[in-house]
Amino acid sequence: MLLREFIRFNVIFLSLINEVRVRKVLILGGDGFCGWPTSLHLSDAGYEVIIVDDFSRRKTDVELEVESLTPIRPLGERLRVWRDVSGRNIRHVAITIGKEYRELLELLVSEKPYAIVHFAEQRSAPYSMKSSSHRRLTVNNNLSATNDVLAAIVESKLDIHLVHLGTMGVYGYGTTGMKIPEGYLKVQVEEDGEIRGREILYPSNPGSIYHMTKAQDQLLFAFYNKNDGLRITDLHQGIVWGTQTSQTRRDKYLINRFDYDGDYGTVLNRFLMQAAINYPLTVHGTGGQKRAFIHIQDTCRSIQLAIEHPPEKTDRVKILNQMTEIHRVRDLAKLISDKTGVGIAYVDNPRKESAENDLLAVNDQLLEMGLRPITLNEELLNEVEQVAKKYSSRCDQNKIPCLSRW
């Protein structure tokens, strides 16, 4: 009897250990700039990863007639190379999130993932403001995608933790005079002579249609959390810089995207690419805008930490400010200019925003979870610049200016 109970205990124990070690995660938009390195990072960490992607980002390259500065191989080839260099398998399922609801629901029911990482949204503010059709596309895609994911989790009746990549841009870029908290603001209201305190979602102040959809995402999350008890983590991410991670460096065919164009290129990557081809660094307006930044490797690590620290079933939506440092744009331009000798060109700001702002934000939760931030340093800047130099012949200088104005 004792031997039988001992064996039974060990079987249960080993099954629990295996469940912890091998957790299945769906990466929606796993072929994109953040999704691809995150997929490799989680696979390398022992997760069973399934990429769900309809290649809409690649189709946008065709529309804009511009490609990533780095050459991106077909996804099937990328996944074969990853299997060769890591011994780990990542599967791909082609579903258009926001349109093919039944296919998404069937995938959840059949695969029963531990978590879903939601990158499946149009991610560019300038692109969202190019025209009325781009505004409508961004709203239709982003809001439908988020609502379909939430509705599918509810209908599946599975306890799936949703991790969503949002943006610090939901807060706006004005000066608040205080540190922006992580999602929630303590307020006091006077009623019948009594002061009552409560916490509310930090008031959003989006500066583009793209940012507006991310602000609307917050309300969708709050509703599904309150009404259906969904466990949700919303990551308000800063501007991503860098290209490579420890996983994408393992083979040239695993290299990540490097967007430099006026619609999709992020500001620091654009500066480093411009420096690589001796193109004056384009600073919009006075360059007095402060922005929050995070390195692409820290994006991957933050996603993993969010997965591994889920909210309880009874918790409200967990909101984290996914950023590691704050810089003024003209200071970054001067840093790169001093380093490379390339000049700075101050051009009209296409956005309606304050010429100067101060930005302070809290990022305590990720630090408490164990994030050790990668900050701007000479070695990493050199690494990104070298990638830009290596592929500089692929740059179309006509695509550098930001032509979307709002």
Instruction: Return the percent helix, strand and coil in the chain, to nearest 5.
Output: 45, 20, 35
Question: Tokens standing for 145?
Answer: 């995608």
Residue 177 is classified by DSSP as S
The amino acid that residue 274 corresponds to is Q
The interaxial angle of helices 267-276 and 378-390, nearest 10 deg, is: 60
Contact 162, 232 (CB under 8 A): yes
Single out the catalytic residue among 171, 210, 224, 260.
Answer: 210
179 is catalytic: no
324 is catalytic: no
Question: Tokens standing for 313?
Answer: 């079933």
How far, in Å, CA of 68 to CA of 354, rounded? 31
Q: What residues are paired with 355 via a beta bridge?
A: none
> E-strand spans in 13-126?
24-28, 48-52, 91-93, 115-118
Distant-in-sequence, close-in-space partners of 359: CB < 8 Å, separation ≥ 6: 173, 175, 180, 290, 291, 292, 326
Give helix then strand counts, H and E, for the chain.
Answer: 13, 14
Distant-in-sequence, close-in-space partners of 45: CB < 8 Å, separation ≥ 6: 304
Single out the catalytic residue among 96, 127, 214, 224.
Answer: 214
38 is catalytic: no
Single out the catalytic residue among 70, 138, 146, 167.
Answer: 167
Q: Name the phi and psi angles at 188, rounded to 5.
A: -125, 135
336, containing H or E segment: helix 329-340
Active site residues: 167, 210, 214
